[in-house]
Structure 1
Amino acid sequence: MKLRSDLILRTIGSDHLIVDPSQDMVDFSTVYTLNSSAAWLWEELKGKDFDTDTIVELLLENYEVSKDQAASDAAVLLQDFQKQGLLEE
C-alpha cells in the first residue's frame, strides 16, 4: 500500500495537518490532524510501498516500545488511514 501522493503534511506550530492542495479553498472538514509520531511516520512512508511490518520496524527502530505495542499501534494507524481515505487504492 501507499499513502495518497496528492496529500501534503503541513506543520503549523505543534499541529500536523494533512491537506489536499488541489482544493481551491481549504475545506477544514477534510483536514486530518496527526500527532508527532504519526506525522513522522507519514514522512517516512511518503512515496514508498509499505505494509504493517514496515511500520512496526520503523517504530521499533525509533521508539522504546515492545514489538506487541508497535504492532498494535501500526494496526490502529493503518485502520485510521484507511478509514479516512489517506491511502491509494
Structure 2
Amino acid sequence: MADRIRVVSQNILKDLDEMDTAVKVVTDTWDGEAHREYVALQKKYKAAADHMHKQLETVAQLIERGKGDYHATDIKASRLFTEAY
C-alpha cells in the first residue's frame, strides 16, 4: 500500500510537470499583468502540489511503520497463546 501511494504521488507530480510544460508554450508569450498573475498563481500551485507530495510520503511512512508494529504485536500475541498451553 505504501509503495502504491508513492507511485501515485510521483505520477501526479509527473503529470503536473507535463501539463506545466504544455501550458508554458502559451504562457511564455504573455507579458505584463497576465504573465505576472500567472507566475504568482503557478508558484502557489506548485507549493500546494509539493505539500501534497510530502503529505503522501508521510502517509506512506506511517503505513510502513504501522505494518511493522502490527506484525510485531501479532507475533507477541501469538506467543501468549503458546505459553498458556
TM above 0.5, yes or no, is no
Return the TM-score normalized by structure 1.
0.31
Q: Which of the pair has more CA radius of gyration?
A: 2
Higher strand share: 1
Return the TM-score normalized by structure 2.
0.32
Structure with more contact order per residue of length (Cα contacts < 8 Å, sep ≥ 6): 2
Higher helix share: 2
